[in-house]
Structure 1
Amino acid sequence: MLNIAICDDEKKLRKDLRNLIAVQLELTGMDYAIQEFDCGESLLAACDAAEQIDILFLDIEMPGAGGMTTAKMLRQSGRKMIMIFVTAYPDFVFQGYEVQAFHYILKPYEEAKIREVLSKAIEEIHGREAQFYIVEQKSGTLRLPMDSICYFKSDRRTVNVVTVRENVIFYGKLDDVAAELPSCFQRVHNRYLVNMHFVTKIETACCLCHEEEIPVSRAYRQDLAVAFAQMMLY
């Protein structure tokens, strides 16, 4: 079941977006449910009640808790749903970096754009479900979901993988780890590999990954900047 939420204070725009999404999902044959929220507060309350949301279409400009504030609170609570911003103002698009927004859609809605972004979001979900990083330890085998891994850090003969829930140490080389990872992982230092989905800020000598400062060496600085900019395009 694919759970989709639309949060927008304008009832007509919610209905229009819901209809466009439903048309596309009917063509896929997927089971789905679409919920509507007229403000950030009601969306947050639903999430606090353990409501599962896979894809969120979130209006940036709303009374009360605006879209950006709502998005930050969802991320701070550990929610990993795909966020797609909807807005009538292109200038707001770049604020999405801070909350790992997947994409954005400009109002008024265009069916072709909805189809394109929704298709990419569904592909992303399927990819997340299928991807695990396998860690072999003396105590057994661990399967770590790729989308829960924040970064890898090498320390001599061992590698420390830091996830949103735990740290796991295993014997290995960072070069070998890098060869097994999807493109969302970026080398930023001889000792560090970061998951770009958790990177919220980059600076000259470091980046912020899951609220931790990770060193960035000169050799990887440009590649990191390019990867960071591309996060809003795919």
Structure 2
Amino acid sequence: MSNISIAICDDLAEERQNLAKMVRNYCGRYRLNPVLRMFSSGDELLNTFSQPGQFQLIFLDIYMPGCSGTDTARRIRAMDRDVAILFATTSQDHGLESFEIQASDYLVKPFQQAEVDRALDWCLEHIPEPKRCLSVLSEGERRELPLSSIQYIDVYGHRARIHTSREVVVARRCLDDLEEAISSRDFLRCHRCALINMNYVQGMEGNDFRMSDDSLIPISSASLSQIRSQFIDWTYFKAWGQA
């Protein structure tokens, strides 16, 4: 039986329990073992959230005291680009925000078991494979960096600076070597000195990629058209599951 880590965040205990029951019903039919964590506020969830991959699915109410569901989702998305976020709320007014946050689904209360089943069907089909890591030696210490946490890598001299969602790790590795070790469709060599994780791209601005931390990463002018096409193809693949 496979484990699946799920967070349910709602300020109303009855709503949390009802949704948890539906999730358990679904998982029981497919021989999944749900590891459920309940949270009564966005602040409580954020205080617990420590690293990418901690949860595979997060159900979020929108209207909660303190940090709203949409603000909570934005902060989580900045730390973990892969986690499936599903809004479960009483309002239909936040569809555009949920799209911008890249939410997997938007359930309007009161919803039925069939609606939860459909949302979980889609999410489980798109949950990434087990987390792959990049192994590097930094300051004499062996580090295992989840690929999903790496935003981009830039190189100056003989040092690679690996920018993750939480820190910058410096290693004596050439970019060709790192690119080969990563070997992931999500990463794009946009310049001889830069490798980006396209999950963290906000958009293209001229000859640069604007990253989620607002850094500008240069695009090789000689390969601008090719790199733009690769990014567009990747975006299409992420949205529709085909190149």
TM-score above 0.5, yes or no = yes
Counterpart selection for 1:223 from 216, 225, 230: 230
> Do the aligned partners of residues 172 and 180 (structure 1) sit closer, same or farther apart at CA in structure 2, a change above 3 Å counting?
same
Q: Does 1:32 align with 2:35?
A: yes
Q: What per-residue deviation string (whole Å, max 9, x for no partner) do you get for residues 119-156 of structure 1? A: 533xx2x522xx11122579464332222322122345
1:47 aligned residue: 46
What 5-or-longer segments of structure 1 have no aligned partner?
none
Aligned positions, number: 217
Q: Give the Cα–Cα distance (whole angstroms) in 2 for the partners of residues 111 and 138 of structure 1.
A: 47
TM-score by length of 1: 0.70
Kindly indicate whether structure 1 or structure 2 has the higher relative contact order, using CA contacts under 8 Å at least 6 residues apart: 1
Q: What per-residue deviation string (whole Å, max 9, x for no partner) do you get for residues 6-40 of structure 1? A: 23568776555433321233333435124254xxx
Matches within 5 A, 1:173-184: 173-174=175-176, 176-181=177-182, 182-184=184-186
Q: What per-residue deviation string (whole Å, max 9, x for no partner) do you get for residues 185-234 of structure 1? A: 22233321112333334333322324122123413123223434554556
Q: Does 1:111 align with 2:112?
A: no
Q: Deviation at 1:111?
A: 1.8
Root-mean-square deviation (CA, aligned residues, Å) is 3.6
> Do the aligned partners of residues 105 and 233 (structure 1) sit closer, same or farther apart at CA in structure 2, a change above 3 Å counting?
farther
Q: Give the Cα–Cα distance (whole angstroms) in 2 for the partners of residues 46 and 91 of structure 1.
A: 23
TM-score by length of 2: 0.68
Instruction: Report if aligned partners of 2:6, 2:34 keep a CA contact under 8 Å in 1.
Output: no
Matches within 5 A, 1:157-168: 157-163=158-164, 164-168=166-170
**Letter aligned with residue 96 of structure 1:** I
Identity of aligned residues (%): 19
**Letter aligned with residue 162 of structure 1:** H
Q: What per-residue deviation string (whole Å, max 9, x for no partner) do you get for residues 94-132 of structure 1? A: 3115xxx5x2245452523322313533xx2x522xx11
2:59 aligned residue: 57
2:99 aligned residue: 94
